[in-house]
Amino acid sequence: MTNRLRVLGVIPARLNSTRLPRKVLRTICGRPMVQHVYERCRRCAKLDEVLVATDSDEVAAVCRQLRIPVEMTSPAHPSGTDRLFEVMGRRDGDIYVNIQGDEPLVDPSQLDALLEPFEAEQQTQVSTLRIAITAQEARNPNVVKVVCDARGNALYFSRAPIPFDRDGKEPVQYFKHMGLYAYRRSVLKMFHSLPPSKLEMAERLEQLRFLDNGIRIRVLQTTIATVGVDTEDDLQAVEQMLTRAAA
């Protein structure tokens, strides 16, 4: 990243998640999940600073104990993007990276890929990642799919299996959207000022607000699969993977 661009990595971390309560503080190999996310992000040389944004005093206390920079944010925020916007008001940066607090296997190379378009194309406003998945995985509504144009810009995101394979004659490659984002400061401010769009509310996917308002999202492809922790099974799977990697 060029010297004129300051890049801030932000890890939104809510304690009161519905599917797996207190998940950001659940231990994996003896350390809280949020610590795993933070330490992996610190390996990315393109991030000038990494911090946790939370509305929980308990999460903030754990972060301070572990010497992880933390910002307290409003409990009223409906999304991590809104939490980033609040942080933006207190922390200077040109690019803000939204890193999910439940992705303890996030890889520094994924963050590098996310930031590449900002180096190469001055018009880049938002970037995110995708990874190839099977047709069976694409039928899961909990897996968000993305389709892109020939230049790698998002055409649409959906919980439905897109594109639709009408004739079934040619194999269709489906792509899962991975919830890592990088935003230019100006577009993050714009997003916060826009009302939720009809498509966003129908799919419950906030990134559709950008597309609905004509803002391009650059999509980079990765081959590194991560495990977003939403259930006890996910937690155990990540622990097993990290234990094997350390052996």
Tell me the average pLDDT across 41-68. Answer: 96
Task: Write b or e for each residue in 32-49: b if 16 or more Cβ atoms lie within 10 A of its Cβ, otherwise e.
Answer: bbbbbbbebbeebebbee
Digit-coded pLDDT (tens) for 59-89: 999 999 999 999 999 988 888 888 899 999 9
d(C-alpha 126, C-alpha 95), whole Å:
9
Digit-coded pLDDT (tens) for 28-44: 999 999 999 999 999 99
In terms of Cβ atoms closer than 10 Å to its own Cβ (0-12, 13-18, 19+), residue 118 is buried
Predicted TM-score (pTM) of the model is 0.92
**Domains of the chain, with CATH numbers?**
1-106 (3.90.550.10), 109-224 (3.90.550.10)
- pLDDT class of 208 with cuts at 50, 70, 90: very high
Q: What is the pLDDT of residue 166?
A: 87
Tell me the sheet residues that pair with 12.
53
